[in-house]
Structure 1
Amino acid sequence: MESLTGTGVALITPFKKDLSVDTEALTRIVNYQVEGGIDYLVVLGTTAESATLDKEEKKLVIDTIVKANAGRLPLVLGIGGNNTKEVVEEIKSADLSEFVAILSVSPYYNKPTQEGIYQHFKMVAQASVLPIILYNVPGRTASNMLPETVIRLAKDFDNIVAIKEAAGDIVQAMRLIQNAPEGFLVISGDDMVTLPMVLAGGAGVISVIAEGFPHQFSQMVRLGLERRVDEAYKLHYEIADSIDMIFEQGNPAGIKHIFKELGLCEDTVRLPLVNINADLVSRLSAFVKKINGKVVA
């Protein structure tokens, strides 16, 4: 899965002030990623506020991204949930013709055992005609998909090809890299530890901050993959402060403000998310001006 190496971004869903999907802004954002050197796009992940989108809106988002992308970058579709039967049915009914893989989050809220997680993804793998990227994000799901479970799945199902690992635990990530079958990709799901994971043998990242600063972040990942460590870390430390800031008051509220600063979309989010406060607005705005070397209208 060479197309999943490097920098992917979890695209936001831009909303107008009336909370409707802003397709013109979404088109601008896709073009911004392509022009910034991003390697692939993830559609309808958590960052897309997909939990707040109805079926018609999800189709609108997919259609808009596919049209705007025009085949330029590989596309990954987010399909996951905590109702295994429902996830399987969605995979079987989805039009997957424009996508190279599915990103599927570990079941949230239910807090399944490791065997429950295994059985869930067994059903997902058997239902899918596309490769599967597992997504481990304990901070959102309330359960950690352990390396032993991931490796078991990777060995048992040929179409489970990668994991987006967002436990924030570099040791856990290194155990995955060390013990996973040959060709299985360990992808960072945590922007702050992306570079250490890449240098340890990871395949890249599915990122949020890279949406705002695609050139800088994708170049950092490329330098890391090329083992140009000093150059890569220079870029990491230029961006690092913004990573903490964009998640400080909820995702994607932080990254949406960066997009507003860049003139790409409004910073509107849907409840239960709310806009970031004035203090964070000031700090993020200052960071955007600093990294771009000018005020971006």
Structure 2
Amino acid sequence: MTLPSPLSGVVPPVCTPLTPDNEVDVASLVRLVDHLVAGGVDGLFVLGSSSEAAFLPDRHRAVVVDTVVRHVAGQLPVLAGAIDMATLRVLDHARAAAEAGADGIVVTAPFYTRTHPAEIARHYRLVAGRCGLPVFAYDLPVSVHSKLGADLVLGLAAEGTLAGLKDSSGDEGAFREVVLGARARGDISGFSVLTGAELTVDSALAMGADGVVPGLGNVDPAGYARLYAYCRGGDRERARVEQERLCALFGMVRVGDPARMGGSSSALGAFKAALFLRGVIDCPVTADPQIPLSAEEVGRVGKFLAAAGLL
């Protein structure tokens, strides 16, 4: 389908259901997509951080993109993460996404090697020039160790290299600088600014963001769709109440014992446990080498769901 310009609304980063032996659970993935569509989301982002893209081999990535694009069949735009260390590897993923029928790709700055802003800009220009799809920059400094500055992002947007930004930097001042810059500059049109911060969606939309990419949206897509509608409709009180309910629900990401697992294992494990408890996916396993939640921790996820009215 033709990608909206700008892309707006709720675009969750779709979790990747797995079997106990770490294969893609296609049937559960299809049910998850149906769950998100029924929840009223505006697009889907596969192979992002909440999709465990960093853990998936290329054959798994291909299955995910092909399955989701085929099942959605043009109902919603599908963005695919083309996330890898450097340009040539990213281009391989981008071409595969294009061949599968994705509507756009999401790309971080290069990582592992140390890069200069000029090299980051060159990276995005090369990918955009060779892949044939709209490119969304993914600002994720906690993982790639480079912050995408507002001047860099806005410059690439003005020249047509970038179609949008997915900001997971946690830097609200820098995020606002991009929003204001995109609004003020006369040489930028149709550029989409999306926040990846589940807990401050109301604030980001009030700043002028176009939409949200919430990992927690896998668990409660209808909640984020309501929040977006309240914010766009100017109903600040209902937006505040809905945002606060989602903030409480987000507490599930901390159920994992930090003495035996990392934050990724805890958060992604909680999202998948919640989807399992809601009957959306068959198995809550996360990709190796992440540590699985215990039965007691899964039970605590259930309490968060019950408190949010989701069980």
- TM-score calculated relative to the size of structure 1: 0.91
Displacement after TM superposition at 1:93 (Å): 5.0
**240, 243, 257: which is aligned to 2:273?**
257
> What amino acid does structure 2 have at the position aligned with 1:30?
V
- In the alignment, which residue of structure 2 is the partner of 1:23? 26
Question: For the Cα contact (< 8 Å) 1:245–1:280, is it kept in 2?
Answer: no
Percent identity, aligned pairs only, is 24
Do the aligned residues in 2 keep the contact of 1:199 with 1:227 (CA within 8 Å)? Answer: no
8 A contact 1:15–1:22 mirrored in 2: yes
Could you tell me which of 176, 199, 204 is aligned with 1:197? 204
- Determine which of 73, 76, 87 is the counterpart of 1:73: 76
Assess if the C-alpha contact under 8 Å between 1:38 and 1:218 holds in 2.
yes
Please list the CA deviations of residues 124-166 of structure 1 after superposition, one character each: whole Å capped at 9, or x if unmatched: 111121111110011111121111111111112x141110011
Unaligned runs of 5+ residues in structure 1 are none
Q: Which AA in structure 2 matches 1:201?
A: G
Alignment correspondent of 2:232: 225
CA–CA distance in structure 2, aligned partners of residues 91 and 63 of structure 1: 13
CA 1:88–1:67: 2 relative to 1, 3 Å:
closer
Change (3 A) 1:155 1:192: same
- d(CA) in 1 for partners of 2:214 and 2:285? 20
Q: Is the 8 A contact 2:5 2:190 kept in 1?
A: no
Which residue identity does 1:219 align to in structure 2?
R
Deviations 1:54-93 (A, max 9, x none): 3322222222212322322111111122221221243245
Question: Does residue 1:146 correspond to 2:149, yes or no?
Answer: yes
Comparing 266-275 with 55-64, which one deviates more in the overlay? 55-64
CA–CA distance in structure 2, aligned partners of residues 192 and 209 of structure 1: 10
Partner SS state of residue 213, structure 2: strand
Distance of aligned partners of 1:262 and 1:3 in 2 relative to their CA distance in 1, 3 Å threshold: farther
1:35-66 CA-to-partner distances (Å, cap 9, x unmatched) read: 01011011222222223323322222222212
Instruction: Give 1:170's match in structure 2, choosing from 169, 172, 194.
Output: 172
Please identify, of 57-66 and 270-279, the stretch whose mean Cα deviation from structure 2 is larger: 270-279
2:289 alignment partner, one of 272, 275, 285: 272
The count of aligned residue pairs is 293
1:184 matched to 2:187: no
Q: Does 1:206 align with 2:213?
A: yes
Matched to 1:271, the amino acid is: D
Q: Which amino acid aligns with 2:287?
A: R
User: What are the residue-to-residue correspondences of 1:44-55 with 2, within 5 Å?
Assistant: 44-55=47-58
Map 1:154-165; keep pairs closer than 5 Å: 154-156=157-159, 158-165=160-167
Match of 2:41 in 1: 38
SS at match of 2:50: helix
Instruction: Give the C-alpha shift of residue 277 in structure 1.
Output: 4.4
